[in-house]
Structure 1
Amino acid sequence: MTEPTAKSRRSRLPALLIVLASLLVLGFVLWQMETTPRTDDAYVYADTIDVVPEVNGRIVELPVRDNQLVKQGDLLIRIDPRPYQDALDQARARLVTLNHQIELTQRSVNSQKYEAASAVAAVERARAQATQANDTLQRLEKLLARGFVSVEAVDQARTAQRSTAAELNTARLQAQRAAAGVSGVDALVAQRAEVEAQISIAELSLEFTEVRAPFDGRVASLRTTVGQFASAYKPIFTLIDTRHWYVVANFRETDLQGIKAGTSATLYLLSDTGKRFQGQVDSLSYGVLPDDGGTVIEGLPHVQRSINWVRVSQRFPVKISVQDPDPDLFRIGASAVAVLRPGEAAKTSR
């Protein structure tokens, strides 16, 4: 009885070891899932801009090709600058003409001011003569009563007094007319400010005929060539910002505990799973569109009556910044795998 029992125990030992090993592996996997969340629901992302001209015109130079890498400041598009150069030359010529006109008008204004000053002096002279004639008439009238002067002399003095008074009135009118005739150059100066503004606009438009890369990037979706008429604010192609690459990974809401900005991450792309990249969490999404329920009608949430017994966790995007990305592998939309390490801060690359 003892020997069969021992054999039976020895035969069950491998099965127990296998079960124990399976439990250990299962425990390790569960521990890994809890401590290092992982998802293959991820893709590569980078910021992009639409390359658009800000002026209308025909494309005369397109020194880039589709999928080409460009450096900041490189020429991307040149619009025919001739119409804008002509507009600038015309505005500058208009300013030169206006400056000459202001100069000539200023000379005329100065002459008018001199005439007005001369008219004021004539008024003073006429006033002095009228005062003298009035005083003379008053003296002669006193002498006439005593018989020291003749009536004819008094009449001549009275005539002279009236004549000088009339000349004084005439001089005053001429002075008023001369003062009213003094013009100015204010209107022309205002026109000069307008022309200077037109010159600034023309210079800016001429500058806009060249579109240059605002950052290091890669050309994408280029579907045109030299000779095409480009409309202002209509995209010509897309420029991918290759300075910063991200992986957007959709994690279950149950995996987000302990995840915050700066959390370390390991990434790899399905195009080359042999390469690993380090990264850190840039930000976590705080809103997604729910697939069921949650609809607000007249201020009240609408929740469906029927529910599933198996509840699927909602996934939220986690934006992960990639350190030292491979420019030959990273493409927008490429499939990726992300593994997060909560509680571990990423090491910044030097």
Structure 2
Amino acid sequence: MTEAIATPRRSRLPVFLIVLLSFLTLGYVIWQMENSPSTDDAYVYADSIDVVPEVNGRIVELPVHDNQLVRKGDLLLRVDARPYQDALDQAKARLVTLDYQIALTQRSVNAQTYEAASAVAVIERARAQAKQANDTLQRLEKLLARGFVSVEAVDQARTLQRSTAAELNTAMLQAKRASAGISGVDALVAQRAEVEAQISIAELNLEFTEVRAPFDGRVASLRTTVGQFATANKAIFTLINSRHWYVVANFRETDLRDIKAGTPANLYLLGDTGKRFHGQVDSISFGVLPDDGGTVVEGLPRVQRSINWVRVSQRFPVKISVLDPDPELFRVGASAVAVLSPRETAENSK
């Protein structure tokens, strides 16, 4: 009878251990979720630019191929530079011609200036003669009243006075005409500034016929070759910045409380889950587009927060900077797993 009672007690012990182990496992999982939030809703990201020529022309050199790694300053493509070189030569030749025109015009202006100065001297001489004739007439008129001079002498003096006055007026008119005839070179100098601007534009366009890599990167989406006519500001291919890699991980809003810039992260790529990469949070998104048909009322979105009576937490992208990327493994859009360690950030801030 005693053995029969002991046997059920022994059979309950494994069940108790299993239940206890389940609770411990559940507690560990909850603790891990609270202290190390993770998500497999993540992908690799890198900044990229569209490689576009800034001038029109036929591609005469394309020394890169699709998916090639290029270094900063490497030639990516070259557009036919002959039309732009001709435009530059033409503008420079026009500047030389204009300089000759300015020099010749300046000589003419100098001659006109000298003539105006000479006319001023003639005025001074005519003014002196007119003054002398007027003084002589006044003296003779006084002597005529006393009978010391003849009427004829006074008439001659009066005629001379009128003649010198007329010469003075003529000299003054000639001086005004000479002064008005000075043309100047201001218009030609203004044209010279315009030609210099044309030369600068032509030099810039000539420089734009070469497109070089602004940073180390990977060529992507190259689907053209030499001979293709390139249109200004139209993309030829994409250049991915391979210097800085990121993982964009979508975390539930309930996990964002302790996540901040600088939070350490462990990253895994599905292409090789055996490798662990280190990173840190760069920033957290402050907005997402609701995908459940939210409506906008008075400028603010109204988003339904429940689906079939179940409240669903929103996910927000967390941008994580990769500290030790593998250049051969990281590709834009590759699937990733991110595990954050907010507790380490809190401990380091103490």
Q: Give the SS at the match of 2:310.
A: coil
1:265 maps to 2:255? no
The Cα shift of 1:97 comes to: 1.3
Could you tell me which residue of structure 2 aligns to residue 172 of structure 1? 172
Secondary structure at 1:343 match in 2: helix
How many angstroms does 1:303 deviate by?
A: 6.6
Q: Counterpart amino acid of 1:332? A: V
Could you tell me which residue of structure 2 aligns to residue 144 of structure 1? 144
Whole-angstrom distance in 2 between the partners of 1:132 and 1:300: 97
**Which 10-residue stretch deviates more, 47-56 or 147-156?**
147-156
What is the SS of the residue equivalent to 1:193? helix
User: What is the rounded CA distance, in whole Å, between the counterparts of 2:299 and 2:172 in structure 1?
Assistant: 84
Q: How does the TM-score come out when normalised to structure 2?
A: 0.93
Aligned residue type for 1:188: L
User: Per the alignment, in what secondary structure is the counterpart of residue 163 of structure 1?
Assistant: helix
TM superposition shift of 1:145: 3.7
Written as runs of structure 1 = structure 2, the 5 A alignment for 1:83-162 is: 83-162=83-162
| 2:63 pairs with 1:63 | yes
- Larger deviation, residues 139-148 vs 180-189: 139-148
Partner of 1:274: 274
Q: Which residue of 2 aligns with 1:239?
A: 239
> 1-side partners of 2:130 and 2:254: how far apart?
110
**Cα distance in 2, alignment partners of residues 15 and 104 from structure 1:** 113
Equivalent position SS for 1:39 = strand
CA RMSD of aligned residues (A): 2.2
Deviates more, 1:297-306 or 1:170-179: 297-306
Match of 2:205?
205
| 1:136 Cα offset (Å) | 2.2
CA distance in 2, matches of 1:161, 1:299: 94
* 1:255 paired residue number: 255
Q: 1:303 to 1:14 in 2, by over 3 A?
A: closer
Q: Deviations over 1:133-167 (max 9, x none)?
A: 22223333333344433333333323222222221
Unaligned runs of 5+ in 2: none
Question: Which residue in 2 is equivalent to 1:75?
Answer: 75
Quote how far apart the aligned CAs of 1:306 are.
8.3
Aligned-partner Cα distance in 2 for 1:31–1:196: 72
Any unmatched runs of 5+ in structure 1?
Answer: none
Q: 3-state SS of the aligned residue for 1:118?
A: helix
Counterpart of 2:150, as a letter, is S
**Shift in alpha-carbon separation, 1:151–1:125, aligned structure 2, 3 A:** same
Aligned-partner Cα distance in 2 for 1:309–1:169: 109
Query: CA, structure 1 residues 225+303, in 2 after alignment: closer, same or farther (shift >3 Å)?
Result: closer
1:77-121 alpha-carbon deviations (Å, 9 max, x no partner): 111111111111111111111112111111111111111111111
CA contact 1:293–1:302 (8 Å) conserved in 2 = no
- Matched ranges for 1:38-57 at <5 A: 38-57=38-57
Instruction: Report Cα offsets for 1:2-58 as digits up to 9, x if no partner.
Output: 122223333333333233223322222222122211111110001111111111111
| 1:221 and 2:221 are equivalent in the alignment | yes
Taking the aligned partners of 2:132 and 2:312, their CA distance within structure 1 comes to 117
